[in-house]
Structure 1
Amino acid sequence: MADSASGKTPSVVIIGTGFGGLCMAIQLKMAGINAFTMLEKASGIGGTWRDNTYPGAACDVQSHFYSFSFEPKHDWSRKFGLQPEILGYMQHCVDKYGLAEHIRFNKEVATAVFDESTNTWTVTTTDGDSHTADIVVTATGQLNQPAWPEIPGLESFTGKMFHSARWDHSYDLNGKKVAVVGTGASAIQFVPEIVPKVQSLSLFQRSAAWVLPKPDRPFYRWEQTLFRKIPAWDRFYRYLIYWKNESRALAFTRFNSLLEIFAWQAKRFARSEVRDPHKLRHLIPDYKIGCKRILISNDWYPAVDQPHVNLVTTGIEQVVEDGIVTSDGALHKADAIIAGTGFAASEFLSPMEITGRSGVSLNQAWANSTEAYKGITVSGFPNLFMLYGPNTNLAHNSIVYMLESQVRYVLSCIDTLQAQPGVAMDVKPDRLRDFSATIQQKLQHSVWESGCQSWYLDKNGKNTVNWPGFTFTYRKATQQVDPDDYEFLQPSQ
């Protein structure tokens, strides 16, 4: 990619082709900016929706709101989209907006280094290719690095072992003894799908999840026709979803007692679905609802209640060649172990090495705390913009809405840079400090600080993942860049 310091339009490298990367690319095109390259580590687009192909993979945000506002899909098959349909929608966006020519597949980014003499970034991939650009936009998501359980003896297991985010479809589970480690958002979807096939299933649960019924069903043909023929109805339906979801932010971030209504509903739901009293006792959590991600499913409880499913709540001591040994000395034999242990969500941009001003790496800048101004920019890393960065995840609404807000902010920054060719913008340290302090102060009142261990918290127990408020306040905060928040740097050469 050519250095465009002498021209008017800055050149851009986008890392990742999930929802964030596609949104950024489409909006660049719509703004008339075509000097961008998308680097994708895999052989296809889709991010988490490409990787998570486990049986039953689906979204827990309603289809009409888990899609771009500028590219509505009228013929969603269900109220909550399934993985193949969501991935198909993303591919449709690539085709419609002509993004294929910009994408370089099998290009995993190893390093990105800022050159102060030219105000450009050099992005190098693991195969040695390098791309120089004025701007780097990272769109790698928070759920792209599978987290393996730290259990002694994993390598000694002689059966089949895989992570739910790297599902091995070539392995036949029929009639097998299967062990599933973890009972989070992925397990709650794939366990009901595999229970009818397996001979036995040992389900290792560290802590129970709060589970609510999923208000899901297929759309009727007439509903799809209505969405297609009356765009205003499609918009209104999306609007209703937004406000229904958004109202829950109050319960998560301010008035935690409101969540007790959901706790009552969840307990009632569990009691109506689970007949085994031992299982029921262990399936209702002992922590405050909302402290960890609330899950939605209609078939989780009936699946776990099956007699050939053994719910194991004793701690795991080690993995041996033919199964898993718990701390009480019991051996749970298994032909296959499936890790449903989620992702390293707080390890942002790992394992890439990003080096900014004065040779400081992002890992060094984040040694004490992972933080970014508005979740997008970090002091010392000019013209580096993050999508789905620190403290921009949601527990109550659609991340696609947040991504669109972030993309608009990045476009506003690019507009600012276009007016001053060759200049780089670096967020002022005090602006970042003040913003981060405000975020952490607001999080103190949230249910996520009520004492449980969750993937929202980093190794120091700090919530570096979630946004502590309404999405409309975030949209307002990212509407347009304030140049006073930034230092503008001339190239040093």
Structure 2
Amino acid sequence: MTQRAPTHRPSILIIGAGFGGLGMAITLKSAGFNGFTILEKAGDVGGTWRDNTYPGAACDVQSHFYSYSFEPKHDWSRKFGLQEEILGYMRHCVRKYQLGPHLRFHSEIAEARFDETENQWTVTLTDGSQLSADVLITATGQLNQPAWPKVDGMERFAGPLFHSARWDHSTDLRNKRVAVIGTGASAIQFVPELADQVRSLALFQRSAAWVLPKPDRPFRRWEQTLFQALPWWDRLYRYLIYWKNESRALAFTRFNRLLEVFARQARKEAHRHVTDPAKLQHIIPDYRIGCKRILISNDWYPAINRPNVSLVTETIDRIEPDGVVTQTGRHYPVDAIICGTGFRASEFLSPIQITGRGGQTLNEAWKDGASAFKGIAVNGFPNLFMLYGPNTNLAHNSIIFMLESQFRYVLDALQALKKYPGSAMDVRQDRQDRFAAWVQDGLQDSVWASGCTSWYLDANGRNTINWPGFTFSYRFATRRVDTADYHFLYPGKPA
């Protein structure tokens, strides 16, 4: 009787302990893959929900759909989850699925290099220590590297100056003169929280945002009880949220004029709450709605209308020790400066240096713009799988749905690797190019290509962030791994 060769289960390193890394780990563990380690640069899980602790931090996707499908939470306090509650949910998942032994905190990655002679990834941490694994899964997200404004004199400012994603809770802003640079998704949430506490707030706006009312409210106790008592109702509620959100995809990707309904609603809200004609003139965008991220808030416009809030649309020239000076020479004296200038979303995996076959770095492979097969795999980087990679972001639905599609795809890839012990999967260049061309073609008629400048576009003006269609089409595209899309490489043998 022939003895069956032992099954090889690849050793795995996951970079990042946010929604992507934790969900991937739970998926692996549930499938019997226990040989994995999650490397996290900080001292806790949570990713963006750990880092963004600014006042008013909350999600703009409904609570029941901004959670794993396999781990429903029945007692969400609100229709749209708050930062602290979302972080608590993630910590709960770590405890329930016993991920603690797999987590390695304070482990920031400096470099990852693929060894062709061993088909192994070697990861070097910033403290100089090294780890090796067969498979490397990146779950660093797109919103983890703060984008700082490039303004002369920032280092000379005498008072507190910080980014909203690194909020300085030791600074008491009550009755202070505060400057806020930027009017994006974070500022939309923390400016209303500050407006009634500070003496004055100078809000420096480069371009206005389209802001819609947020259909948010606390869940009543009987609603939470119903979700708990009838899991099918919780499931149905989540299902209804999905299709309500999903119906908006056509407006973003094909029939942009449908978004004008929302533009009229935003204008109506602005006219309803903002009575200052000068502010009203500058608070309504001049670009097509949807070209940049649409924001939702119920207190943004009332905050703008406050007499102690100044809306400044002049370009900042420099920062002096005691304030901000615009290009017209006007000086705004302030005691503190907060940068609500978003993230370097298109700089995927930055600042980690990733080196694949033949010594090629990911930066070199992406010199013309980030691209990945199904947003997950890149030619020349075998056994590297990315979560929330290029062109997998959404403007209309929950990224958790996209992540769960990727979890399934990566798990299927690992199952394929089990069948070919010692091999490494490298996506074929022609398959990657064909997929990238399809994505970019699909983005041509989208609202994101209507002429504005946004964080969806990289330095070359190419949209490397958003998915150009429905999330169910992505789920279908990633339902399984077609091994014909890959070369299976063995150590010491040519591709």
TM-score, normalisation: structure 1: 0.98
For 1:159, the equivalent position in structure 2 comes to: 159
Q: In the alignment, is the contact (CA less than 8 A) between 2:158 and 2:322 conserved in 1? A: yes
- Unaligned segments of structure 2, at least 5 residues: none
Asked if 2 retains the 8 angstrom alpha-carbon contact of 1:67 and 1:400, the reply is: yes
The aligned residue for residue 321 of structure 1 is 321
Structure 2 partner of 1:58: 58
Structure 2 residue 304 is matched with structure 1 residue 304: yes
The structural deviation recorded for 1:156 is 1.1
| Counterpart residue identity of residue 211, structure 1 | V
Partner of 2:330: 330
Deviation per residue, 1:44-101 (Å, 9 max, x gap): 1000000000000000000000000000000000000000000000000000000011
Partner residue in 2 for 1:134:
134
| Residues 90-489 of structure 1: pairs in structure 2 closer than 5 A | 90-489=90-489
Q: Which amino acid aligns with 2:426?
A: D
Kept in 2, the 8 Å contact 1:18–1:46? The answer is: yes
Determine the C-alpha separation between the residues in 2 that align with 1:79 and 1:489.
48
Residue aligned with 1:140, SS: coil
Q: Which amino acid aligns with 1:110?
A: A
CA distance in 2, matches of 1:399, 1:44: 21
Partner secondary structure for residue 241 of structure 2: helix
Cα-to-partner distance string for 1:358-386 (whole Å, 9 max, x where unaligned): 11110111111210000000000000000
Contact 2:263 2:289 in 1 (8 A): yes
Task: Provide the C-alpha distance between the structure 2 equivalents of 1:490 and 1:15, rounded to a whole number of angstroms.
Answer: 25
User: Structure 2 counterpart of 1:10, which letter?
Assistant: P
Aligned equivalents of 2:426 and 2:33: distance in 1? Answer: 22
> Which letter does structure 1 place at the counterpart of 2:189?
Q
Deviations 1:388-423 (A, max 9, x none): 000000000000000000010000000000111100
CA contact (8 A) 1:6 1:421 kept: no
Per-residue deviation at 1:6? 7.9
* One-letter code aligned to 1:161: L
CA distance in 2, matches of 1:124, 1:419: 29
Q: 1:289-308: CA deviations, max 9, x gaps?
A: 00000000000000111001
8 Å Cα contact 2:369-2:458 kept in structure 1? no
Aligned equivalents of 1:278, 1:333: Cα separation in 2: 21
AA of the residue aligned to 1:207: S
Q: What is aligned with 2:18? A: 18
CA contact (8 A) 1:203 1:311 kept: yes
Residue 102 of structure 1 aligns to which amino acid in structure 2?
H
Conserved in 2, the CA contact under 8 Å of 1:390 and 1:465? yes
SS at match of 1:186: helix
Alpha-carbon distance, 1:7 to partner: 5.4
Quick one: which amino acid aligns to residue 221 of structure 1? R
Contact preservation (8 Å) 1:345, 1:455: yes
Query: How far 1:275 moved relative to its partner?
Result: 1.0
Supply the distance in 1 between the matched residues of 2:431 and 2:375 (Cα, whole angstroms): 12
* 1:235–1:261 Cα change, 3 Å: same
| Contact 1:314–1:328 under 8 Å retained in 2 | yes
Structure 1 position 260, deviation (Å): 0.4
CA–CA distance in structure 2, aligned partners of residues 236 and 58 of structure 1: 24
Q: Provide the C-alpha distance between the structure 2 equivalents of 1:6 and 1:114, rounded to a whole number of angstroms.
A: 25
Say whether the 8 Å CA contact 1:316–1:326 is kept in structure 2.
Answer: yes
Counterpart code for 2:33? I
Code of the residue aligned with 1:405 in structure 2: it is S
Cα deviation, residue 30, structure 1: 0.2
TM-fit CA distance, 1:155? 0.9
User: Contact (CA 8 Å) 1:192, 1:303: kept in 2 or not?
Assistant: yes
Identity of aligned residues (%): 69
Deviations 1:262-289 (A, max 9, x none): 0001100111111111111110000000
Output the CA distance in 1 between the equivalents of 2:93 and 2:260: 40
For the residues of structure 2 that align with 1:369 and 1:15, how far apart are their CA atoms? 22
Aligned partners of 1:173 and 1:198 also within 8 Å = yes
Q: Alpha-carbon deviation of 1:330?
A: 0.2
Q: Is the 8 A contact 1:6 1:422 kept in 2?
A: no
- CA separation in 1, counterparts of 2:214 and 2:134? 45
One-letter code aligned to 2:75: D
- 1:152 shift after superposition: 1.0
Secondary structure in structure 2 of the residue aligned to 1:124: strand
CA distance 1:318–1:350, shift in 2 (3 Å): same
- 1:234-281 Cα offsets, whole Å, 9 max, x none, are 000000000000000000000000000000011001111111111111
Could you give the per-residue CA deviations for residues 289-342 of structure 1, whole angstroms, max 9, x where no partner exists?
000000000000001110010000011111111111001110011100000000
Rounded Cα–Cα distance in structure 2 between residues aligned with 1:441 and 1:447: 13
Contact 1:179 1:336 in 2 (8 A): yes
RMSD: 0.9
Contact 1:387 1:406 in 2 (8 A): yes
Q: CA deviation at 1:196?
A: 1.0
Shift of 1:454: 0.3
- SS of match in other structure, 2:38: strand
- Residue 157 of structure 1, CA deviation: 0.8
Conserved? CA contact 1:370–1:390, under 8 Å:
yes
What are the within-5 Å matches in structure 2 for residues 43-54 of structure 1?
A: 43-54=43-54
Structure 2: distance between partners of 1:168 and 1:317: 25
User: Do the aligned residues in 2 keep the contact of 1:377 with 1:427 (CA within 8 Å)?
Assistant: yes
Separation in 1, partners of 2:130, 2:294: 42
C-alpha distance in structure 1 between counterparts of 2:195 and 2:283, whole Å: 17
**Quick one: distance in 2 between partners of 1:8 and 1:314?**
62
> Does the aligned pair in 2 maintain the 1:425–1:487 contact within 8 Å?
yes
SS at match of 2:37: strand
Q: CA deviation at 1:229?
A: 0.6
